[in-house]
Structure 1
Amino acid sequence: MGWLLDSDPALRWQVQRDLLDEPAEVWRATRRRVAVEGFGARLLAEQGSDGMWAGGAFFPAGFEHGKEEGQPWTATTWSLNSLREWGLDPAVLRERRTPELLAENCRWEYDDLPYWGGEVDCCINAWTLANGVWLGVDVEGIAEWFVDHQLADGGWNCEWVEGSTRSSFASTLNSLKGLLAHERATGGTPRTREARLRGEEYLLKRHLSRRLSTGEVVGEWAGQFRSPFRWGYSVLNALDHFREAGRKDARAGAAVAMVKGARQADGTWLQAGRHPGRVWFEVDVEAGEPSKWLTFHALRVLRWWEA
């Protein structure tokens, strides 16, 4: 715990709240520091006067596919995701008129669509839905979009626009996170709540990591834990969603065993590797090193599971 507490306020307040059961006044005081020091303050300093980060919605201005390694993580959507996940008080961004500025200035790279209306990618729409309800924007249209674009097997796939009719683990998990954020903020609607439960069933029927047809693990990536999670799927990322949703199901037991099996002798979990791409600054260790973020997420999931 001392090792975890010796960290940026963005992580420290969550350790205090979720692992140490500190009084609310303690972890809330730490959480307020996200806006004025460390990762949160550094990322806030990169916001442009137009409300955007790096001049773009999903990609930075001037980005050309194939010209650099990986996906850049500097543009507006990724920056909002980070600030929300770190626990920044949304009032900080509302005071900067961020929701209004993005409505005025930010357009999606896809078809120049308005930012708060979303676009066609499931994952992008999920993050926009979560960020929208966090900032108090009316994004009900995006929530209903997920109901209309849920596939027959119960999940989602960002490649539906290319004709895919079979869901993806990653697209489904990211969609579920967006729907849960919407539900927590607004209560959701009967349609969106049902869609979330159906999507969770898609993952649970597959034990969070296995093919429905053969029972084999879908790929090594299911057990490779990367921090930050970004868009990537892993059983740790999925279990963290089910913890947040308060849905404990025996079918997730094999995934829990995978998390336990990755624990090192010293009690830590190792970084499998950062998602490649341009960043404002690094927030976690290199591959093979003990990760405070992954250790926190794993301990929190196991604490919830074993309670």
Structure 2
Amino acid sequence: MVTSALIPWLRDSDPALRWQVERDLLHEPPEVWEATRARVATEGFGARLLALQDPDGQWAGGAFFPAGHDFDAAAREQPWTATTWTLNSLREWGLDAAALRGTAELLDRNCRWEYDNLPYWGGEVDCCINAWTVENGLWLGAGITGIVDWLVEHRLPDGGWNCEWVEGSTRSSFHSTLNSLKGLLAYDIATGGTEATRAARRGGEEYLLRRGLFRRLSTGEPVAPWVGRFAYPFRWFYSVLNAAEYFRRAALFDGVPPDPRMAEAIELVRAARQPDGTWLQGRTLPGAVWFEVDVPEGKPSKWLTLSGTRVLDWWDAR
């Protein structure tokens, strides 16, 4: 549980974060957190991003990269300002889709993927990109059923997904699997899902759970040091905290208790908690942003404290 000393600190935050604190940590009645959530469209981070939208519905003039992005080897640092990344932020912050009324249609007319100039709501060949497009399309009311079918069809034999399948990879990736699972969960929550989406989701979850969310199946060793690296925003990056947030949402939707195979991963989350109950910001992914939404590396992060606390609250209540 969040300590009483942290409550004023967490409440003194942008509406995009504060409404989640009120709902998930303080268990305020809906009329309280819903009123705060409504403010995302009119103040703070949400309002700032809304004001940066281009007249054609995009942000920064591109789907995944800003218009004019230099793809040469010396300039491959990922910017976080284009349409997909901005929509991801607004959706995750709880913005009411009504604030973006007409955006789905504008993107359908004006936005194309950098890959083969494909239409935006048709998706492309990257699992993570397609999963985010499913989530954003469901939120904004776009037709994304074809992308959902694509995700189901592109699950690898070992149970998960890998965005490098186009390069011939046949082994799943922790990053790609988690992001693909988020897209399928959003679809199941919004529509009830299908037998195929539910089976794909179960298979992907099993891929991660068999590995305890962070170990190699072959040796039992941690897959990499980054599994315990926590930084906000999560972006595409895998960590046991990011994965535990997914499994919390999935378990609450499915009406099942936490899977005991997550126990070691949860203890990594718990070990990162500071004596004062906060989590410290890690090293964030480099790249241009519209503006900063969290503290520098090494400082107590309200976003990570929200995330870590609600994961532990869910786990400890099992």
Structure 2 residue aligned with 1:29 = 35
Structure 2 residue aligned with 1:274 = 284
Distance 2:312 2:226 in 1: 20
Distance 1:160 1:151 in 2: 9
Letter in structure 1 aligned against 2:280: L
* Pairs within 5 Å for 1:282-293: 282-293=292-303
Letter in structure 2 aligned against 1:62: G
TM-superposed CA distance for 1:138, in Å, is 1.4
Structure 2 residue aligned with 1:152 = 157
Letter in structure 2 aligned against 1:288: G
Structure 2 residue aligned with 1:13 = 19
TM-superposed CA distance for 1:67, in Å, is 4.7
Distance 2:110 2:86 in 1: 16
- Cα deviation code 1:140-179 (max 9, x no counterpart): 0011101110000000000000000000000000000000
* Pairs within 5 Å for 1:1-307: 1-65=7-71, 66-68=73-75, 70-94=77-101, 97-246=102-251, 248-307=258-317
Contact map agreement 1:69 1:276 (CA 8 A) in 2: no
How has the CA–CA distance of structure 1 residues 300 and 81 changed in structure 2, closer, same or farther, with 3 Å as cutoff? same
SS in 2 for 1:32: helix
Distance 1:194 1:2 in 2: 43
How has the CA–CA distance of structure 1 residues 74 and 197 changed in structure 2, closer, same or farther, with 3 Å as cutoff? same
SS in 2 for 1:125: helix
TM-superposed CA distance for 1:69, in Å, is 6.7
Distance 2:277 2:52 in 1: 36
Distance 1:261 1:2 in 2: 24
SS in 1 for 2:300: coil
TM-superposed CA distance for 1:70, in Å, is 2.5
Letter in structure 1 aligned against 2:63: A
How has the CA–CA distance of structure 1 residues 269 and 184 changed in structure 2, closer, same or farther, with 3 Å as cutoff? same
Distance 1:68 1:301 in 2: 37
Distance 2:307 2:313 in 1: 10
Distance 2:143 2:114 in 1: 21
Structure 1 residue aligned with 2:4 = none
SS in 1 for 2:37: helix
Distance 2:76 2:176 in 1: 22
Distance 1:60 1:67 in 2: 16
Letter in structure 2 aligned against 1:280: W
Unaligned ranges ≥5, structure 1: none
Distance 1:294 1:70 in 2: 24
TM-superposed CA distance for 1:224, in Å, is 0.4
Letter in structure 2 aligned against 1:121: D
Letter in structure 1 aligned against 2:30: A
TM-superposed CA distance for 1:195, in Å, is 0.1
- Cα deviation code 1:49-84 (max 9, x no counterpart): 000000000000000124547210000000000000
Unaligned ranges ≥5, structure 2: 1-6
Q: Percent identity?
A: 70
Alignment: residue pair count: 305
TM-superposed CA distance for 1:137, in Å, is 1.2
TM-superposed CA distance for 1:91, in Å, is 1.1
SS in 2 for 1:280: coil
Distance 1:75 1:93 in 2: 16
Letter in structure 2 aligned against 1:52: Q
SS in 2 for 1:145: helix
Contact map agreement 2:70 2:76 (CA 8 A) in 1: no
